[in-house]
């Protein structure tokens, strides 16, 4: 599903962001990507969606070498990867429903598909009845759920959550991770970047740790 083969990334020919990274994440896995600031996590994510190109090595998403994609094919790659940001990045002048529908219109979904996906994603993240609310009328946890719903609406096989609970209190953070586990149980491959050591240790999922651009741990038993 996600494979990095001898991937290195250097900036300005000298700053090493990633060095000889080899990772294979299977379909349906739930994986934590951890490490201190500057360890290479952001570069890893940017390479996955072709915001950056590796200096060497290759990256395969769904068994396709994304380095060989033409520019016009990149949007199709990004439809396979739902992205949830720490700061939500919602459209604050639009309702919950309109935020989700926006993502579906981008991929030119039919009105029938939009109606069906809107209903199912709202149910999946527990936001039924909040369709007409604006983001500033919602709690932080609810806003994060809207961001999740928007990312899931296009039915991506892969979901990336970048510090999804960084701005949330512990109780709300736990609720968000329960939702992520439910989404994973439906078959979505999930990669979570986080500093939430307690949650990583509690959930016992695979942990990949980066430090100075190198993998220093890849453990199926979890632990941080």
**CATH numbers and ranges of domains, the chain:** 1-80+156-224 (3.40.50.300), 90-155 (no CATH)
- Burial of residue 173 (number of CB atoms within 10 Å: 0-12, 13-18, 19+): buried
Compute φ and ψ for 130, nearest 5 degrees: -105, 10
Is the pLDDT reported for residue 222 higher than 90?
no
What is the DSSP secondary structure assignment for residue 63, as one 8-state letter?
T
Q: What is the pTM of this model?
A: 0.91
Scan for tokens 């149910």, then name that residue: 123
Percent of the chain clearing pLDDT 70 (strictly above): 100
158, 82 Cβ separation under 8 angstroms = yes
Which tokens sit at 128?
Answer: 């039924």
Q: Where do runs of H (alpha helix) occur along 53-190?
A: 74-79, 96-106, 111-124, 140-152, 170-185
DSSP state of 211: E
Q: Across residues 18-38, what is the average pLDDT?
A: 96
Question: What integer is the mean pLDDT of 101-126?
Answer: 92
């Amino acid at each position: 599903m996600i494979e990095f083969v001898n991937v290195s990334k250097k900036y300005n020919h000298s700053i090493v962001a990633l060095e000889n990274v080899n990772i294979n994440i299977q379909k349906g896995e739930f994986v934590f990507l951890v490490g201190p600031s500057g360890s290479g996590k952001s570069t890893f994510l940017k390479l996955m969606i072709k915001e950056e190109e590796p200096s060497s090595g290759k990256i395969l998403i769904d068994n396709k070498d994304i380095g060989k994609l033409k520019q016009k094919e990149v949007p199709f790659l990004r439809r396979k990867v739902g992205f949830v940001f720490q700061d939500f990045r919602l459209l604050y002048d639009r309702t919950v429903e309109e935020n989700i529908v926006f993502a579906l219109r981008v991929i030119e979904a039919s009105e029938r598909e939009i109606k069906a996906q809107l209903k199912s994603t709202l149910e999946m993240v527990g936001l039924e009845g909040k369709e007409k609310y604006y983001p500033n009328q919602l709690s932080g946890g609810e806003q994060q759920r809207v961001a999740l719903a928007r990312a899931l609406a296009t039915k991506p096989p892969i979901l990336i959550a970048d510090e999804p609970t960084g701005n949330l209190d512990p109780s709300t953070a736990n609720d968000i991770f329960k939702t992520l586990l439910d989404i994973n149980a439906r078959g979505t491959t999930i990669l979570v970047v986080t500093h939430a050591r307690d949650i990583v240790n509690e959930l016992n999922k695979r942990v990949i740790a980066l430090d100075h651009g190198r993998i220093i741990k890849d453990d199926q038993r979890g632990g941080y």
